[in-house]
Structure 1
Amino acid sequence: MLSAIRKIDRYSLLLLFTVLVASLLPCRGEGARLFGALTTVAIALLFFLHGAKLSREAIVQGLTNWRLHLVVLAITFGLFPLLGIGTAAVAGTMLTPSLATGLLFLTLLPSTVQSSIAFTAMARGNVPAAVCSASASNLLGIALTPLLVALLIGGEAQVAGDEIWTIVFQLLVPFVAGHLSRPLTKAFVARHSRLVSTVDRGSILLVVYTAFSAAVVEGLWSGMPIWQLVVLSIICAILLAIIMVATAWIARRLGFDRADRIAILFCGSKKSLASGVPIAGVLFPAAQVGPIILPVMIFHQIQLLVCAHLAQRYAQEDGEAAPVRAPA
């Protein structure tokens, strides 16, 4: 547990450091255009790697548990957005409009992939089902998240024909290309997992820097007192607690066994920073992306810490504590 927290904190510190650098030294002018182009390449590379890491064998093995996948998708793209509508309405009385919109946007995102699978494995859950559910959530999220944004956020986001094609070519095409490349890239990805993880996380850091730079140039921090960040963190923690309790209750009420309940809990209650940052960059004006993704960043760190603790407890209850590794 302590090892996981130390490793998770290292990445959290990198995210915080990136926000600090963007706040003190935001890119402007030609620099902003250069970082914008680099961000486009980084996002495409990020989704290419996601596709390359997706095992076809695991998909086939996991597809048989269709009830589990439907429950996870219903929670991710149904129950979570419903909670988001209420949360954003309440938060709108305390937070800036952009932060409240960011909270709603957070609930519309797909599940994480790497950490959902890692935590399910740690907790002795149904790993093949987790692989299939988390991967399906991410793939469907490329289409469902923009659709939900158009329905629930509307005018603040740009969900028109050009943005849809941008999502297709910048996110979906690299993802499919990465998966189709597995006969050529599978061995490389397996041998250089640390390098792949570094590129994965580095891409996110680059996108975060570019997004926050644009927001800082437009006066992000001048209109956001510290107490709002504290309130935002509390709201994210409460939202996570509610969805985890609801997810665990639903899985138990539907009669799933212990291994399936674990997979449902870790796949259904998580939201993806890796998908959220680039999707926000496509759908929202550059100056709004910073505050929009701030709730996602905070929620991401809280969910990693809470899920690391829960996974270890599940493993201990199973009679054999799993060594905890930091997921992405």
Structure 2
Amino acid sequence: MKRPAWLPDNLVLMLCATIALATLAPVHGRGVAVLDALTQAAVALLFFMHGSKLSRRAVWEGLLHWRLHALVFAATFVLFPLLGLALRPWLEPLVGPTLYLGVLFICALPSTVQSSIAFTSLARGNVAAAMCSASTSNIVGMAITPLLMAGMARWVGASAGAGAVQLSWHTFEGIVTTLLLPFVAGQALQRWTGPWVAAHKAWVRASDQGAILLVVYGAFSAATVQGLYSHLPPATLAAVLGICALLLAVVMPLLTWLSRVLGFSREDEIAIVFCGSKKTLASGVPMAQILFAGQAVGLLVLPLMVFHQMQLMVCASVARRYAREAPQHPVAV
């Protein structure tokens, strides 16, 4: 029996359990250093696995569709940031400067990989283009996201915590050594590691989720120790939900309209809508730990976790609608 689209997925349930554990039993003292080392190793392994399982053939096939990728990249790294900045007069008073910075962080992040491809496939869209676009978005995002965050934080000024994002060699070193180098190593060793990764998908998925849970536990433990959640009223959480819903409600219909106006096929439209409207939790949470080191990371990633679950529920519903409306003949991808 399939899980209804409105129910939280297993990862979100585990995230909720992890947050509860961090609230009731946060890590203290020497345990923080041990957890940090374990988390860095887990995140490096996560990106090594991503590099090992990414198909080079699919990347080369998808790269040929440059118009599609240009629209997805514009939505991911231009439309979202402009939307976050334009809505600042209404958003920041609702949630405060720290959570607003978390909303801007959503806007600066690259697209997802696994779920973008999965929903594109379910909706019978251009899977090869989706795989290439989402994967390239993640790779490019390792450089673009820190620059975007620094620029947006500077733009909104001190009231939104402009000092929270400090670009330095240490920041890029952390991204390169923890995220980029493991990914490149996975690509380089794909001939040997790729078959093993393909044969152990359940283990790889558990490893991915474990790395995210470790980062979330560390971030929320620090937030609990610092007492950050004692001043977070229910109305603020409701506002975060509304903001995430607003972002999706603007971006998804706009991408659908642009795809049709620009003459893309139905299959390409599906890939554009799913890749251009989604934001990665797998890359976002580790990146937040590096970009916002010493800041209230637990609060800053809260909007991202809300957006993650909401995008899964909304995209599942949209994918089913596309699938119902699809032509009966097989779609070549």
Q: Is TM > 0.5 for Structure 1 vs Structure 2?
A: yes
**2:55 is matched with which residue?**
55
**1:30 is matched with which residue?**
30
Contact 2:5 2:317 in 1 (8 A): no
Contact 2:164 2:295 in 1 (8 A): no
Deviation at 1:11, TM superposition (A): 1.9
**Structure 2 residue 213 is the aligned partner of structure 1 residue 221:** no
**2:43 is matched with which residue?**
43
Mapping of residues 1-328 of structure 1, within 5 Å = 2-3=2-3, 5=5, 8-154=8-154, 155-319=163-327
Deviation at 1:190, TM superposition (A): 1.0
Deviation at 1:87, TM superposition (A): 3.2
What amino acid is the match of 1:205?
Answer: L
Query: Partners of 2:66 and 2:4 in 1: how far apart?
Result: 32
Query: Partners of 1:32 and 1:157 in 2: how far apart?
Result: 22
Residues 87 and 49 (structure 1 numbering): CA distance in 2 closer, same or farther, change over 3 Å?
Answer: farther
SS in 2 for 1:51: helix
Query: Partners of 1:282 and 1:246 in 2: how far apart?
Result: 32
Contact 1:214 1:287 in 2 (8 A): no
Q: What are the superposed Cα offsets for residues 255-293 of structure 1, whole Å, 9 maximum, x if unpaired? A: 101000000000000000111101110011344111110
Query: Partners of 2:275 and 2:241 in 1: how far apart?
Result: 22
Residues 127 and 235 (structure 1 numbering): CA distance in 2 closer, same or farther, change over 3 Å?
Answer: same
Residues 73 and 10 (structure 1 numbering): CA distance in 2 closer, same or farther, change over 3 Å?
Answer: same
SS in 1 for 2:87: helix
Q: What are the superposed Cα offsets for residues 227-255 of structure 1, whole Å, 9 maximum, x if unpaired? A: 11111111111111111111111111111
SS in 1 for 2:216: helix
Unpaired runs of at least 5, structure 2:
155-162
What amino acid is the match of 1:176?
Answer: V
Query: Partners of 1:217 and 1:87 in 2: how far apart?
Result: 32
Residues 180 and 229 (structure 1 numbering): CA distance in 2 closer, same or farther, change over 3 Å?
Answer: same
Residues 303 and 265 (structure 1 numbering): CA distance in 2 closer, same or farther, change over 3 Å?
Answer: same
Deviates further, 280-289 or 130-139? 280-289
Deviation at 1:94, TM superposition (A): 1.5
Contact 1:214 1:286 in 2 (8 A): no
Deviation at 1:220, TM superposition (A): 1.4
Query: Partners of 1:182 and 1:127 in 2: how far apart?
Result: 21
Query: Partners of 1:320 and 1:234 in 2: how far apart?
Result: 37
Contact 2:102 2:303 in 1 (8 A): yes
SS in 1 for 2:9: helix
Contact 1:51 1:177 in 2 (8 A): yes
Deviates further, 227-236 or 134-143? 227-236
> What count of residue pairs does the alignment treat as equivalent?
322
Unpaired runs of at least 5, structure 1:
323-328
What amino acid is the match of 1:22?
Answer: A
Deviation at 1:319, TM superposition (A): 5.0
CA RMSD, aligned part only? 1.7
Contact 2:6 2:313 in 1 (8 A): no
Contact 1:111 1:271 in 2 (8 A): yes
**1:325 is matched with which residue?**
none
Query: Partners of 2:129 and 2:143 in 1: how far apart?
Result: 22
SS in 2 for 1:285: coil
Query: Partners of 1:51 and 1:89 in 2: how far apart?
Result: 40
**2:160 is matched with which residue?**
none
Q: Structure 2-normalised TM-score? A: 0.93
Deviates further, 4-13 or 15-24? 4-13
Query: Partners of 1:271 and 1:195 in 2: how far apart?
Result: 23
Contact 2:7 2:313 in 1 (8 A): no
Q: Structure 1-normalised TM-score? A: 0.94
| Deviant stretches of 4+, over 4 Å | 319-322
Contact 1:312 1:321 in 2 (8 A): no
